[in-house]
């Protein structure tokens, strides 16, 4: 019997297809999304924050500022400083840190007790209590504080005059009087204003102009034409007057009553007036000349003052030149810190002259700091123009607004002039 052949082996059913491993695709997609998100964020960042390069170093601590200011004038000064800080922080701040608003006080003790790198200020009174201790502690000061405004070498390199002093303002007035052909200037003065009288006398001698000092205290004791000797002064050739004190009206008015034309009146800053009801926008008699701080433009607020505590006078203080100067100080200190790669006051102070006049002109913190970080030498130009210091860090080329008046004391001609007034 024939044996049937064995059945053919069964063909195994095809295996079900293996599910694909989706993990690498998921990981790749996530990674791609992260990259795209990062790129988008980076693009948004650079669209928001201009590229100014990397700082030379990242300081351990942020730049710490203080503001020395009397009550009543702090607000406008803080506005100008805030404007500078807004522009600085918009591009990353200084050496890797944003810069906070300054500690503001009119009490020297508050500032001396704080750990500050630089103090800004524009107030003469009180400077004698603050500055020696501040500079002895090694803190940089930028602004103004008479009588140190024109004291060569004061502060061992840490004091920078950024606001013209009263002595420089009256020197500018003497030059204008000489240009106008004046030959003999009357200067009412008290013991407190003799330093300005000395500045006027020296400047007048250099321009061939005679100066006659009038004791203001004696004139106040007999406020009449005879007491002042106005007629005699005019007979002797006096053809101009520079009032230095609020009470100088007891000399100026008799001189004008006796025939001195208003064109012979030269006023420093906004004049101090003895009448507490006088309007703050009255600059002086029609025809007179006023020299005042360069305002720096409409961005910088005016500082206005009312009656004194005693109520016996009122006056309008300097226009925005003071606040514009503090804006300049903030920028210069920040740029000097960037150039030094440090916020240490001595190192910042050493770089201040270089960033103000050391190279190519630049305007605004963004433009200037980008150049500094690129290794370029710069010359910062602020809203009042360039700043030039001498070897003692005192202003040399000083911008002033020269205002010629008419009508009811309204400005008619305003010219910005730079006077070379080095020590």
Asked whether the beta carbons of 53 and 370 are under 8 A apart, the reply is: yes
Q: Among residues of the chain, what percentage have pLDDT more than 90?
A: 39
Q: Is the pLDDT of residue 225 over 60?
A: no
Lowest mean pLDDT among 7-11, 112-116, 186-190, 268-272: 7-11
Is this prediction's pTM over 0.85?
no
Give the per-residue pLDDT at 390. 85
Could you read off the pLDDT of 347-358 as tens digits, one per residue? 999 999 999 988
- Cα torsion 173, 177, 178, 180: sign: positive
Q: How many CB atoms lie within 10 A of CB 310?
A: 7
3-state DSSP helix/strand/coil % of the chain, to nearest 5: 40, 20, 40
pLDDT at 69 over 80: no
How confident is the model over 47-54, as a mean pLDDT? 66
Percentage of residues of the chain with pLDDT beyond 70: 72
Q: Which pLDDT belongs to residue 153?
A: 59
pLDDT at 110: 86
Rounded CA-CA distance 369/412 in Å is 39
Secondary structure element (H or E) that encloses residue 378, with its range: strand 378-382
Which of 93-97, 173-177, 393-397 is predicted least confidently? 393-397
Reported confidence tier of residue 259, pLDDT bands at 50, 70, 90: very high
The residue extents of the domains of the chain are: 166-321
The pLDDT, as a whole number, for residue 273 is 37
Local confidence band at 127 (pLDDT 50, 70, 90 cut-offs): low
155 or 409: which leads in pLDDT: 155
Q: What is the CATH number of domain 166-321?
A: 3.40.50.2300
| pLDDT tens for each residue of 373-385 | 999 999 999 999 9
Q: What is the DSSP letter of 319?
A: -
Question: Mind listing the pLDDT tens digit for each residue in 384-398?
Answer: 999 888 888 888 888
Pseudo-torsion of CA 209, 210, 215, 221, nearest 10°? -90
Mean pLDDT to the nearest integer, 29-43: 43
Residue range 148-173: mean pLDDT, rounded: 79
Highest mean pLDDT among 193-197, 233-237, 405-409: 233-237
Contacts of 236 (CB under 8 A, 6+ apart): 184, 212
Query: Residue 106 — very low, low, confident or very high, per pLDDT cuts 50/70/90?
Result: confident
Going by pLDDT thresholds of 50, 70 and 90, the confidence category of residue 4 is low
Tens of pLDDT, residues 150-159: 565 566 788 8
Average pLDDT over residues 294-313: 59
Residue tagged 């501040």 (tokens): 134
* Cα 125 to Cα 148, 155, 188, distances in angstroms: 11, 17, 21
CA dist 295 and 402 (Å) reads 11
Q: Is the pLDDT of residue 14 over 70?
A: no
- What's the whole-number mean pLDDT along residues 58-80? 84
Res. 6: pLDDT tops 70: no
| pLDDT the model gives residue 94 | 98
Name residue 221's beta-bridge partners: none
């Amino acid at each position: 019997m024939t044996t049937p052949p064995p059945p053919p082996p069964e063909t195994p059913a095809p295996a079900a297809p293996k599910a694909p491993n989706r993990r690498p695709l998921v990981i790749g997609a996530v990674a791609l999304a992260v990259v795209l998100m990062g790129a988008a964020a980076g693009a948004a960042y650079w669209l928001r924050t201009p590229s100014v390069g990397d700082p030379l170093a990242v300081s351990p601590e942020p730049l710490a500022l203080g503001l020395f200011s009397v009550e009543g004038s702090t607000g406008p000064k803080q506005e100008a400083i805030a404007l500078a800080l807004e522009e600085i922080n918009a591009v990353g701040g200084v050496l890797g840190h944003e810069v906070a608003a300054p500690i503001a006080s009119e009490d020297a003790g508050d500032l001396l007790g704080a750990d500050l790198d630089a103090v800004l200020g524009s107030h003469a009174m009180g400077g004698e209590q603050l500055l020696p201790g501040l500079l002895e502690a090694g803190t940089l000061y930028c602004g103004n504080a008479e009588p140190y405004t024109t004291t060569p070498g004061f502060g061992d390199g840490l004091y920078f005059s950024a606001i013209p002093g009263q002595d420089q303002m009256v020197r500018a007035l003497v030059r204008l009087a000489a240009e106008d052909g004046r030959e003999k200037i009357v200067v009412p003065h008290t013991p407190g204003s003799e330093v300005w009288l000395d500045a006027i006398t020296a400047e007048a001698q250099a321009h061939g102009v005679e100066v006659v000092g009038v004791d203001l205290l004696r004139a106040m004791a007999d406020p009449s034409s005879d007491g002042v000797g106005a007629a005699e002064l005019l007979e002797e050739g006096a053809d101009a007057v520079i009032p230095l004190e609020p009470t100088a009206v007891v000399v100026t008015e008799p001189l004008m009553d006796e025939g001195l034309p208003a064109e012979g009146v030269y006023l420093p800053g906004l004049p101090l007036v003895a009448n507490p009801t006088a309007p703050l926008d009255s600059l002086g008699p029609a025809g007179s000349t006023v020299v005042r701080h360069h305002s720096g433009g409409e961005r910088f607020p005016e500082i206005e003052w009312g009656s004194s505590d005693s109520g016996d006078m009122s006056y309008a203080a300097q226009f925005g030149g003071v606040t514009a100067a503090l804006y300049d100080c903030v920028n210069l200190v920040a740029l000097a810190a960037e150039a030094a790669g440090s916020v240490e006051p001595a190192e910042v102070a050493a770089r201040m002259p270089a960033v103000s006049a050391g190279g190519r002109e630049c305007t605004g913190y963004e433009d200037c700091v980008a150049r500094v970080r690129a290794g370029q030498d710069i010359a910062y130009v602020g809203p009042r123009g360039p700043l030039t210091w001498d070897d003692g860090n005192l202003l040399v080329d000083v911008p002033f607004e020269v205002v010629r008046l008419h009508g009811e004391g309204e400005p008619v001609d305003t010219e910005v002039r730079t006077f070379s007034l080095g020590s």
